[in-house]
Amino acid sequence: MAMTLYDFLKLVKADFDTYDTVFDIEVTACEPYESSMENMEWYDKFYDFILKHVEFVEKTGECSCVVNWYKFIKDNMETFRECANDMWKKGTVPDDEEDFIYEWIKEINGWLTGYVSETEYKIFMEKYAPRLKEV
């Protein structure tokens, strides 16, 4: 079984700049909080969930590592496409698969840094998260 980004961050107890295996794009990830799910806000639930579903590849520097964001989106393409069609501004969802994956990696960075509302995190966690594949 592959190590997840969540497992890696818990192990090193630090925040990391993560980089994708295909695209030259950064997603900042912080050490997960210690809290029970029932005491967490939707943002925190989303955060932990995403970190537990993306594969850690390798540590590349003091606070940088490679993570397989590309594979995470590609393996869950149908779910992410439905989510984008439902939640993104009309006309902004790329048709091209590579462009779509790239845009979702950027989108995840925004979501992990808190740029969406609690309502959007709740919708994602209730409607889309249960359909995402494990690492």
DSSP-based three-state secondary structure for 64: strand
The Cα–Cα gap between 31 and 13 comes to 6
Give per-residue pLDDT as tens, 4-60. Answer: 999 999 999 999 999 999 999 999 999 987 777 677 899 999 999 999 999 999 999
* DSSP 8-state class, residue 43: H
Which residues, 6 or more positions from 5, have their beta carbon under 8 angstroms from its beta carbon? 18, 29, 51, 52, 54, 55, 56, 67
Contact 128, 82 (CB under 8 A): yes
Tally of domains within the chain? 1
Give per-residue pLDDT as tens, 51-71. Answer: 999 999 999 999 999 999 999
Position 37 scores a pLDDT of 66
pTM to 2 decimals? 0.92
Domain that holds residue 107: 5-131
